[in-house]
Structure 1
Amino acid sequence: MNAWSVPGYTESRELGSGGSGRVVLAVHDATGVPVAVKYLSERLRADSGFLQGFRAEARLLSDLDSPYVVGLYEYVEAPRGAAIVMELVDGIALRALLRQEGPTGPEAALVVLKGSLLGLAAAHRAGVVHRDYKPENVLVALDGSSKLVDFGIATDRGSTPGVAGTPAYMAPEQWNGEPASPAADVYAATATFYECLTGRKPFSGENFAELALQHVGAPVPEEQAPEPVRPLIRRGLAKEPQERPRNADAFVAELEEIAGVAYGPDWEERGQRRLAALAALLPLLFPSGGAQAAGTVARATTTLGDGGPDDARGGRHARSWNPGLRGALATAVALIIAAVAAVAAGAVGDSPGGRTTVRAVTTAGPVAAPEATPGATPGTTSAGPSGSASPSPAVSAPTGGSPSASGGATAGTSTP
């Protein structure tokens, strides 16, 4: 049996895959716009909890309006599959860049940290905690800019107590099963910053128990980092959440002050050029093979329903998204795929009431990938463009709320 695909798109190749699904490169037939499509795996789609989490990820992304977060175009659910259609970021995962090229240098590391924090700040202002910030979930584009992806285990601030995240980047309170907070995202972003500076993770225990002990009690290894940025590392990796910046916005303010004093007013421009130069060394890891994306969607609106599978257009109205990417502007009509389109795609099925079950919501923007591999051990995989690869498997032991899904894939798109 052929795998289900979203109607209205022509797929060209797979960008990444993992335990929670796969991400493919595709083109929107009506406009010629390249996109990344993330499919939830059949195994997880059969689990109502994971399916609800996948819907929640799409709903969250539809509400985030930031150039530092991959944007959502539409969410489609039919009897044979569920998919998130997202912005294709022509870039590579920070993990791939670090693995291939090593430490980035302080100015480039500061640029990565600032861009990621601005993406986290958009989520924090919306009351959302990412919970799985790591190099696999940061994409670096050809111009040296970066975007945050993979909100697969994100949750509301203060909710969902329990151990969840990727062990090498989890804050002490995450190991202790405390409720999610923006300070935990600040900790993970700082751990990634440390890795950009030194080429190694701040703590390198060989198993969960060692990592837990190190994150909770070991001194912050700031001496391995350049002296001017050690205050950021001390603050961001503080053991107590109240000793860290309260959220990503607050940390950005501290970063800009320290960076300006240490490296001068042009630090950000130099850092972005450095990142662009490093990314250019790895052209084959880009979705486009190094070429610029050809088009963009002008505008669309998304409606995400709160009901069951038969609820195709109910619920709250999401933001309009008007991307400022280069390339020819293609007109965009928000695509609400009806049952007829689903039939054409072979996605026909009967709901209990005898109706074909198809959910479709659309907007213009991107998303990230879900992650969840309970009991997984730290590891790596490759990553790429508009999505996230999940090199270091995420751990999740949810206690209520939407389940987490953590896979391992890579692409320049958000991957499952």
Structure 2
Amino acid sequence: MIGRLIDGRYQVRSRIARGGMATVYLATDLRLERRVAIKIMHGHLADDNTFKTRFVQEARSAARLAHPNVVNVFDQGQDADMAYLVMEYLPGITLRDLLKDYKRLTPEQTVDIMDAVVAGLAAAHQAGIVHRDLKPENVLLADDGRIKLGDFGLARAVSANTATGQALLGTIAYLSPELVTRGVADARSDIYALGIMMYEMLTGEQPYVGEAPMQIAYQHANDSVPQPSSKNPAVPHELDELVHWATARDPNERPSDARELLLRLREIEPLVRGTADAALLATAPVTSAMGETAPLAATRVLDPAISSAAVAPATDEPGETDASKLAATAQRRHRRGYWIFAFVLLLTGLAAGTGWYFGAGPGALQAVPETATLTPDAATDVLEDAGFAVVLDERNDPVVAEGLVSGTDPAAGARAQRGSAVRLFVSLGPRILTVPQVLGMSEADARAALGEFTVADEAVEQFSADAAAGTVIALLDGGGAPLPPTYAERGAITLVVSVGPIPDVTGLPAADAEAALVDAGLTVGHGEDVFSDDVEAGIVVSQTPNADPMHPGDTVTLVVSKGPDLVEVPNVITGQTVAQARAQLEALEFAVSSNVPEFLEGAVVATVQSPAAGERVKRGSEIQVNFG
């Protein structure tokens, strides 16, 4: 597919990912001069109307949504035998990639990502669309910080909630109990999947595991999801409750749709981040000192209702007493004003200092620069120039060459405090993995088993008398050589798949034999026909080659019988000598015998021949020429 021009508009550049129904490529829209992601349905599914309908449904479902947290769909169409879907291209990683790198996320990171995902899903639910395949693989984290929900391949209208004949849709780890037991999916089934995703983000593992899919499905249907804090004590109580609410086994006990979940999520976000209590503590001194104590004190002093009788006992000079009382009160008011002013100055200084510390000082947040594919020394310089301390580490990377930087923790683009440590990972190259034993498997099962490698889209087809059609008979490396037992992660692998045995057409009429070979995908060639005493004329005597390895399109050469080699016996007794008769017959490759001595053959006329003239006999037969 690389380099192919689709529908006269989209130039395919490289492959991004491969799924069970389609492969996604990076392409250039030549008309609008922009990069796009183009999803192309697998060729072996093109004739399946169910898959075609689902593929088109994804385009229609996503196209109905216009939301910043949903992947935009630009176009959908058919080019020859290929169905395709054109979407916006988001360079970055998936939530699954992030979880693989970091194992689990902090509550704050979880809330950030879930806010965007739930917002996008709320837009889908509002448009009457149920996603039905929510999982970390379908959450895209763009390099520029955008978070989007994609892959609406299993989406359906909310009213179409019965999955007749295909109860288990989506990924088994995220299926709701009602989808497992009754095959019914609605907006609340999406909420359940979100709850499972949140649990996985907070704990680094899925709540249910098992050796077989049905074991996991049984747990979904019969068990309750445990609290994330039982695995990660750092999870706050509010997120425990949110996961419990979203993963209730009874759909009626869950949020009715994503909008209801989003409202609750945004209510608890300040509590998760710890900002609500901090805000109350910060405003409490100001309120008590300035908003209540000072104004009330001043009011009490200056209130005209205060009389001399209420202020102090009577004296001989009430006017003087009243003056001294007012002076004392004024002095106290001034002293209180100084304290309030000093307190305000202190708060202002603290606010300014805090603002400087977190805005421009050591505590300021700074985006971690991109360092992937740089040398460790160059990457260290870049990070130190940005104000970070560098800690070197190593990890395997299937893409970045050994010895170069494969990434950082925090990741590039994330914001971290200046002066904080950034872990710089130097690539050890790809992991060397044991290749799974897939010989004898179906092509689809083999591709699934080889998920940690890059399997070529097109398999090599080969005839095999020992393997059933459609099963894998060999694996080839990127250079076409037999694959070794261990191989690099994401290394290129090509499957060799059996198309069954070469048809044996010997003994068939030539026309039937040729038709059988053409139907098997072979090209037919013809050798020189041969005489045969055992095979009648027009029947195939032999085919070459007649053994493995052969591939569709190769040539099989047929040799057809002309039947026995019969020759008409000429008349040699019309005045010829025996010698002349012998010469005529031997020229036709007959053996000649005679009752005339050899030294008299030139003088004696032949009078008898057997077989008689005009009979057809096998070339090389014996003809008797006698006198008498």
Per the normalisation by structure 2, the TM-score is: 0.43
Q: Summarize the alignment of residues 361-380 of structure 1 with structure 2, pairs less than 5 Å apart.
A: none
3-state SS, counterpart of residue 165 of structure 1: coil
- CA offset digits 1:319-341 (Å, max 9, x no partner): xxxxxxxxxxxxxxxxxxxxxxx
Q: 1:188 to 1:254 in 2, by over 3 A?
A: same
1:317 alignment partner in structure 2 = none
Aligned-pair distance for 1:144?
3.3
1:237 alignment partner in structure 2 = 247
Q: 1:42 to 1:4 in 2, by over 3 A?
A: farther
Q: What is the distance in 2 between the residues matched to 1:104 and 1:231?
A: 18
Residue type at the aligned position of 1:189:
L
2:146 alignment partner in structure 1 = 145
Q: What is the distance in 1 between the residues matched to 2:450 and 2:174?
A: 13
Q: 1:212 aligns with which of 211, 214, 217?
A: 217
1:34 alignment partner in structure 2 = 35
Q: 1:281 to 1:257 in 2, by over 3 A?
A: farther
Q: What is the distance in 1 between the residues matched to 2:138 and 2:452?
A: 11
Q: 1:148 to 1:285 in 2, by over 3 A?
A: farther
1:130 alignment partner in structure 2 = 131
Q: What is the distance in 2 between the residues matched to 1:212 and 1:241?
A: 16
- CA offset digits 1:58-92 (Å, max 9, x no partner): 11111111111100111121333111111001221
Q: 1:49 to 1:248 in 2, by over 3 A?
A: same
1:121 alignment partner in structure 2 = 122
Aligned-pair distance for 1:376?
11
Q: What is the distance in 1 between the residues matched to 2:448 and 2:231?
A: 22
Q: 1:191 aligns with which of 192, 196, 221?
A: 196
Q: Summarize the alignment of residues 286-301 of structure 1 with structure 2, pairs less than 5 Å apart.
A: none
Q: What is the distance in 1 between the residues matched to 2:69 and 2:452?
A: 21
1:414 alignment partner in structure 2 = none
3-state SS, counterpart of residue 168 of structure 1: helix
Q: What is the distance in 2 between the residues matched to 1:176 and 1:4?
A: 45
2:51 alignment partner in structure 1 = 50
1:158/1:179 contact within 8 Å kept: no
Aligned-pair distance for 1:118?
1.1
Q: 1:374 to 1:41 in 2, by over 3 A?
A: closer
The one of the two structures with greater contact order (alpha-carbon pairs below 8 A, sep at least 6) is 1
2:5/2:12 contact within 8 Å kept: no
What runs of 5+ residues in structure 1 fail to find an aligned partner?
268-272, 293-372, 384-409, 411-416
Aligned-pair distance for 1:147?
0.6
1:76 alignment partner in structure 2 = 77
1:224 alignment partner in structure 2 = 231
2:102 alignment partner in structure 1 = 101
Q: 1:251 to 1:156 in 2, by over 3 A?
A: same
Q: What is the distance in 2 between the residues matched to 1:374 and 1:131?
A: 23
Q: 1:380 to 1:57 in 2, by over 3 A?
A: farther
Number of positions where the alignment pairs a residue of Structure 1 with one of Structure 2: 295
3-state SS, counterpart of residue 86 of structure 1: strand
Residue type at the aligned position of 1:237:
T
Aligned-pair distance for 1:16?
1.2
Aligned-pair distance for 1:261?
2.0
1:171 alignment partner in structure 2 = 176
Q: 1:261 to 1:131 in 2, by over 3 A?
A: same
Q: 1:84 to 1:172 in 2, by over 3 A?
A: same
2:224/2:248 contact within 8 Å kept: no
Matched, 1:202 2:207: yes
Aligned-pair distance for 1:29?
1.4
Q: What is the distance in 2 between the residues matched to 1:211 and 1:113?
A: 24
3-state SS, counterpart of residue 92 of structure 1: strand
Q: 1:281 to 1:181 in 2, by over 3 A?
A: farther
Q: What is the distance in 1 between the residues matched to 2:260 and 2:398?
A: 34
3-state SS, counterpart of residue 252 of structure 2: helix
Q: What is the distance in 2 between the residues matched to 1:261 and 1:138?
A: 25
Greater CA radius of gyration, 1 or 2?
Answer: 2
Aligned-pair distance for 1:181?
0.8
2:61/2:156 contact within 8 Å kept: no
Matched, 1:251 2:261: yes
Residue type at the aligned position of 1:221:
P
Q: 1:9 to 1:88 in 2, by over 3 A?
A: same
Q: What is the distance in 2 between the residues matched to 1:60 and 1:209?
A: 30
3-state SS, counterpart of residue 211 of structure 2: coil
3-state SS, counterpart of residue 28 of structure 2: strand
Aligned-pair distance for 1:259?
1.9
3-state SS, counterpart of residue 6 of structure 2: coil
- CA offset digits 1:352-391 (Å, max 9, x no partner): xxxxxxxxxxxxxxxxxxxxx99999989579xxxxxxxx
Aligned-pair distance for 1:5?
2.5
- CA offset digits 1:188-226 (Å, max 9, x no partner): 011111111111011112212211221122232102241
Residue type at the aligned position of 1:233:
V
Q: What is the distance in 2 between the residues matched to 1:199 and 1:148?
A: 21
Q: What is the distance in 2 between the residues matched to 1:265 and 1:41?
A: 50
Q: What is the distance in 2 between the residues matched to 1:124 and 1:185?
A: 9
User: CA-atom RMSD, angstroms?
Assistant: 3.6
Q: 1:15 to 1:374 in 2, by over 3 A?
A: closer
Q: 1:380 to 1:213 in 2, by over 3 A?
A: farther
Moved more, 63-72 or 74-83: 74-83
2:107/2:236 contact within 8 Å kept: no
Identity %: 33
Aligned-pair distance for 1:142?
2.1
Q: 1:252 to 1:376 in 2, by over 3 A?
A: farther
1:345 alignment partner in structure 2 = none
Q: What is the distance in 2 between the residues matched to 1:104 and 1:121?
A: 23
Q: What is the distance in 2 between the residues matched to 1:251 and 1:237?
A: 12
1:356 alignment partner in structure 2 = none
Matched, 1:8 2:15: no
- CA offset digits 1:293-339 (Å, max 9, x no partner): xxxxxxxxxxxxxxxxxxxxxxxxxxxxxxxxxxxxxxxxxxxxxxx
